[in-house]
Chains A and B, each alone.
Chain A
Amino acid sequence: MIKTSTVTKTVNTSEGSLQILQPISFEVKSGESVAIIGASGSGKSTLLGLLAGLDEVTSGEIYLDNEALHTMDEEQRAVLRGSKVGFIFQSFMLVQSLTALENVMLPAEISNLDNPKGLAMEILEQVGLAHRAHHFPNQLSGGEQQRVAIARAFITSPKILFADEPTGNLDAKNSDKIEELLFELNRNTGTTLVLVTHDNDLAAHCDRQLTMHAGELKETTPSSTSPSEVS
Chain B
Amino acid sequence: MPMTFNLAWRLFKHEARRGELTIILLAIVLSVGAVLSLSLFSERLQGALKSRSAAFIAADAQLRSDKPVDETWLLKAKDEGLDTAKQVSTRSMVFKGDAMSLVDLRAVNSNYPLKGMVSVADAPFGAKKDIDALPASGEAWVQSRLFQTLKLNVGDAIDIGEVKLTVTRVLSDIPDAGFSVFNTDPIVLMNLDDLEATEITGPGSRARYVSYFAGDTSNVKSYISWLLPQLNDDLHSWRTVEDDESAIGRSVASAERYFLLASLLAIVLAAVSIAVAAQRYAQRHFDPVAIMKTLGATKQTIRKVYLIQILFITLLGIAIGLIIGFIGQHIVVSLVADRVDVSLNVWHWRPVVIAIATGATCAILFSLYPLLQLFSVPPLRVLRKDLDASLRSRSIQFVASGGAIFALMWMYSQDLKISVILFASGAALVAGLLVATYFLIALGRKLGSGKMGPWQLAWARIKRRAMDNSVQLISFSITIMLLLVVLVMRNDMVSQWRAQLPEGTPNYFLTNITPDNQARLDRHFADQNVDINEFFPVTRGRFVSVNGEGVNTEVSKEEESSNEGRRGLGREANLTWGNTLQKENEVIEGIWHGNVDTTYSEGWFPVSVEEGVAERLDIKMGDLLSFNVGSEIVETKVTSVRKVNWQTMQPNFFFVIHPDAMEAFSPTYITSFYLPTERKEELTKLLKPFASVTMFDVDARINQLRDIVEQVSVAVEFILVLVLMAGSLVLIAQVQASMDERRQEIAILRTLGAKGSLIRKSVVFEFLIIGTVAGFMAALANELSLYMLQTSVFQMTASLHLEYWLVAPAVGALVVGILGAIGCWRLLTLNTGEMLRKMV
For residue A105, give the distance in angstroms from its CB to the closest CB of chain B: 9
The proximity string for A residues 41-60 relative to B, scoring 1 for CB distances below 8 Å and 0 otherwise, is 00001001100101100000
* A32 within 8 Å of B (CB atoms): no
The CA of A109 and the CA of B304, in the complex, are separated in Å by: 14
In contact, A87 and B382 (Cβ under 8 angstroms): yes
Could you tell me if A97 and B288 are in contact, using CB atoms closer than 8 angstroms?
Answer: yes
List CB contacts (< 8 Å) of A77-127 with chain B: 78-83, 85, 87, 89, 91, 93-99, 102, 106-107, 109-112
Whether the Cβ atoms of A107 and B14 lie closer than 8 Å is: no
Question: Across the interface, which residues of B come within 8 angstroms of A89, CB to CB?
Answer: 382-383
Once the chains are docked, how many angstroms separate the CA of A82 from the CA of B6? Answer: 18
User: Is the pair A45, B296 in contact by a Cβ cutoff of 8 Å?
Assistant: no
If A54-B382, A93-B382, A95-B291 touch, whether A74 touches B10 (CB-CB below 8 Å) is no
Contact call A107/B288, Cβ cutoff below 8 A: no
Question: What CA separation (Å) do A78 and B379 show in the bound complex?
Answer: 9
* Residue A138 is within 8 A (CB to CB) of chain B in the complex: yes
- Tell me how far the C-beta of B108 lies from the nearest C-beta in chain A, rounded to whole angstroms: 72
Report yes or no: A112 in contact with B3, Cβ–Cβ below 8 A.
yes
Compute how far the CA of A110 lies from the CA of B290 in the bound complex, rounded to whole angstroms: 14
Closest to B305 in A: A110
**In the complex, which range does the number of interface residues on chain B fall in?**
20 to 34
Q: How far does the alpha carbon of A97 sit from the alpha carbon of B733 in the complex, in Å?
A: 22
Chain A hits for B10, CB < 8 A: 98, 102
C-beta contact mask, B366-393 vs A, less than 8 Å → 1, else 0?
A: 0000000000001110111000000000
Given that A49-B383, A97-B288 are known contacts, is A110 also in contact with B295, CB under 8 Å in the complex?
yes
In the bound complex, CA of A99 to CA of B11 (Å): 10
The B contact surface, by secondary structure, is helix
Count CB-based A-B contacts (< 8 Å).
90
**B299 on the A face (CB < 8 A):** yes
Per the bound structure, the CA–CA distance linking A107 and B379 in Å amounts to 14
Shortest distance from the beta carbon of A161 to any chain B beta carbon, whole Å: 13
B296-339 with Cβ < 8 A to chain A: 296-299, 301
CB distance from A75 to the nearest CB of B (A): 5
Complex CA distance for A91 and B385, rounded to whole angstroms:
10
Contact A45 B383 (CB under 8 A): yes
Evaluate whether A98 and B296 lie within 8 angstroms (CB atoms) in the complex, with A109-B7, A110-B3, A112-B3 already known: no
Q: Inside 8 A of B298's CB, which chain A residues have their CB?
A: 75, 78-79
Instruction: Say yes or no: is A219 at the interface (Cβ < 8 Å to chain B).
Output: no
Q: Quick one: given A95-B288, A97-B15, are A107 and B383 in contact (CB under 8 Å)? A: no
Near B by CB (< 8 A), chain A positions 134-152 give 136, 138, 152
Q: Whole-angstrom distance from the CB of A17 to the nearest CB of chain B?
A: 18
B222 at the interface (CB under 8 A from A): no
How far apart sit A82 and B294, CA to CA, in the bound complex (Å)? 8
**B589 CB–A CB distance under 8 Å:** no
- Contacting residues of chain B (1-25) with chain A, CB-CB under 8 angstroms: 3, 6-7, 10-11, 14-15, 18, 20
Q: Which of B621-662 contact A (CB under 8 A)?
A: none
Residue B287 CB within 8 A of the other chain: yes
| Residue contact B380 to A55, C-beta cutoff 8 Å | yes
Residues in A neighbouring B3, C-beta threshold 8 A? 109-110, 112
Chain A residues near B301 (CB, 8 Å)? Answer: 110
Contact among A87, A91, A136, A138 for B294, CB-based, below 8 A: A87
Q: With A89-B383, A164-B383 in contact, is A78–B297 under 8 Å at CB? A: yes
* A97 near B383: Cβ-Cβ < 8 Å: no
A10 CB → nearest B CB, Å? 15
- B296/A78 in contact, CB under 8 A: yes
- List B contacts of A110 (CB < 8 A): 3, 292, 295-297, 301
Residue of A nearest to B837 (CB): A138
Are B380 and A107 in contact (CB-based, < 8 A)? no
Looking across the interface, which residue of chain B has its beta carbon closest to that of A87?
B294
Complex: A144 Cα to B299 Cα, angstroms? 30
Encode B16-41 as 1/0 by CB contact (under 8 A) with A.
Answer: 00101000000000000000000000
- Least CB distance from B834 to A in Å reads 10
Name which of A96, A99, A107, A164 has the most chain B CB atoms within 10 A of its CB. A96
Cβ contact within 8 Å between A54 and B383? yes
Contact B11 A97 (CB under 8 A): yes
Query: In whole Å, how far is A180's beta carbon from the nearest beta carbon of chain B?
Result: 24
- Is A87's CB under 8 angstroms from B18's CB? no
Flag whether B115 is at the interface (Cβ < 8 A): no
The minimal Cβ–Cβ distance linking B221 to chain A, given in whole angstroms, is 52
Alpha-carbon gap, A7 to B10, bound state (A): 40
Shortest Cβ distance from residue A8 to the other chain B in the assembled complex, whole angstroms: 17
Chain A, Cβ-Cβ closest to B834: A138
Interface centre among A81, A110, A152, A164 (most CB of B within 10 A): A110
Do residues B6 and A91 form an inter-chain contact, with CB atoms below 8 A?
Answer: no
A142 to nearest B CB, angstroms?
Answer: 9
**Closest partner residue, chain B, to A48 (CB atom):** B383
Which residue of A54, A109, A111 contacts B379 across the interface (Cβ within 8 Å)? A54
The verdict on A91 contacting B296 (CB below 8 Å), with A97-B15, A97-B288 known, is no
Closest Cβ–Cβ distance, residue B85 to chain A (whole Å) = 66
* Contact for A93 among B287, B299, B380, CB less than 8 A: B287
Q: Among A48, A79, A94, A102, which residue has its beta carbon within 8 angstroms of that of B296?
A: A79
Q: Closest chain B residue to A153 by CB distance?
A: B295
User: Within the complex, what minimum Cβ distance (angstroms) separates B303 from chain A?
Assistant: 12
Show the binding face of A for B, using Cβ within 8 Å. 45, 48-49, 52, 54-55, 74-75, 78-83, 85, 87, 89, 91, 93-99, 102, 106-107, 109-112, 136, 138, 152, 164
Give the top 8 A-B pairs by smallest Cβ distance, nearest first. Answer: A82-B296, A107-B295, A81-B296, A54-B380, A97-B14, A97-B15, A95-B288, A54-B379
Q: With A49-B383, A81-B296 given, can you name 16 additional A-B contacts, CB distance below 8 Å?
A: A52-B294, A54-B383, A55-B380, A75-B299, A78-B298, A78-B379, A81-B295, A93-B290, A93-B291, A95-B287, A97-B14, A106-B295, A110-B292, A110-B301, A136-B14, A138-B837
Jot down 5 A-B pairs with beta carbons below 8 A, ordered by A: A49-B383, A55-B380, A81-B296, A82-B297, A95-B288
